[in-house]
């Protein structure tokens, strides 16, 4: 097991991606500490995991972060303010997304840990000039969230270059899957679509639905994150973590409708402030060549797994809704 006996800190470890990462690390034999303020995280996501230490606190608390980093070999910094709430409260967004990783980096420099893995976002690209998007393409921060995530990247690079802090940066793209609970008001579009259709409500599509995204299943993201934590070619580098496949929101809604046998059309509503990216698909060649990572879950398989999980957490009165075979949904 790759992480057997390692002391690992996961900030944001009770959240959607963080809880999946925590679960995988425990199965790999790591000794995991989770730091989460439960703003969007949920203890139910990690309640079934044994032998982890949970700390209810924030990455904005330097003294707390320093104590936890001091006893860690590796830090996964996934603590983040969601893009929706960050637009409403940009100061808090800056304090968590940028100030939080700054605290982690300061402590990592002080204690000489093995590696920091910083979870960044494809939002730093804005509206690209060319597709697919490479890591060295022009960046355009169109939201406070994107600006704070890029600032976090810049501090990672600065600490690596100035102080030799071992760090790797991962630009996640539209992650979905298990533990992305639709009861969370800040969850992603896939969980919202499933929730609406399973409750016999039409999905709401902002704009014309022809905007595209690069949807990435959470298990693939977790595997890329764990590889990046230990691979020697990751040090100081930035990698796209995505499926490399462009999907429109209209097509996404159609795929989910087939899976749950939902007949009604979608409802089109006005765009939101955060709906300012027209097209997105990332080039994943760099991470494939350097870290030997490629995604293994295609969108329809990932949607089927997500739908089955959501059915499992629903009340008994809705459990007769069926998920058809992927082949049927073709």
The catalytic site residues sit at 145
Question: Pick from 78, 81, 76: which is nearest to 95 by CA?
Answer: 81
Q: Which is it for strands 212-213 and 247-248: parallel, antiparallel or unpaired?
A: antiparallel
Alpha helix ranges (H) inside 238-298: 249-260, 285-291
d(CA 197, CA 214): 22
Question: Pick from 106, 6, 109: which is nearest to 61 by CA?
Answer: 106
d(CA 148, CA 311): 35
Alpha-carbon dihedral of residues 184, 275, 80, 153, nearest 10 degrees?
Answer: 160
Asked whether the beta carbons of 6 and 74 are under 8 A apart, the reply is yes
Instruction: At 140, list the tokens.
Output: 């355009």
Instruction: At 275, list the tokens.
Output: 């709906």
192 SS3 class: helix
Cis bond leading into 132, ω under 30°?
yes
Question: Pick from 89, 83, 105: which is nearest to 11 by CA?
Answer: 105
d(CA 127, CA 136): 14
Total length of the chain: 330
């Amino acid at each position: 097991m790759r992480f057997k006996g390692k002391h690992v800190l996961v900030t944001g470890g009770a959240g959607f991606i963080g809880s999946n990462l925590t679960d995988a690390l425990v199965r790999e034999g790591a000794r995991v500490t989770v730091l989460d303020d439960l703003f969007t995280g949920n203890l139910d996501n990690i309640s079934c995991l044994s032998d982890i230490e949970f700390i209810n606190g924030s990455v904005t608390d330097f003294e707390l972060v320093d104590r936890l980093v001091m006893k860690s070999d590796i830090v996964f910094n996934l603590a983040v303010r969601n893009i929706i709430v960050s637009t409403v409260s940009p100061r808090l967004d800056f304090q968590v997304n940028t100030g939080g990783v700054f605290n982690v980096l300061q402590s990592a420099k002080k204690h000489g840990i093995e590696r920091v893995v910083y979870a960044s976002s494809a939002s730093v690209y804005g509206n690209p000039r060319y597709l697919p998007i490479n890591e060295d393409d022009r960046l355009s921060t169109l939201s406070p969230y994107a600006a704070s995530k890029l600032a976090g990247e810049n501090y990672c690079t600065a600490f690596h270059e100035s102080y030799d802090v071992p760090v790797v940066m991962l630009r996640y793209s539209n992650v979905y899957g298990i533990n992305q609970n639709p009861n969370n008001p800040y969850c992603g579009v896939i969980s919202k679509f499933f929730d609406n259709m399973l409750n016999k409500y039409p999905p709401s599509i902002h704009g014309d639905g022809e905007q595209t995204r690069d949807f990435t299943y959470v298990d693939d993201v977790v595997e890329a994150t764990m590889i990046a934590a230990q691979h020697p070619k990751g040090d100081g580098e930035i990698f796209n973590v995505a499926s490399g496949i462009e999907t429109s929101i209209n097509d996404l809604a159609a795929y989910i409708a087939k899976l749950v046998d939902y007949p009604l059309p979608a409802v089109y509503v006005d765009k939101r402030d955060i709906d300012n990216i027209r097209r997105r698909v990332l080039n994943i060649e760099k991470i494939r060549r350097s870290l030997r990572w490629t995604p293994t879950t295609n969108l329809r398989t990932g949607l089927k797994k997500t739908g089955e999980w959501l059915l499992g957490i629903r009340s008994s009165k809705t459990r007769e809704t069926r998920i058809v075979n992927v082949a049927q949904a073709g």
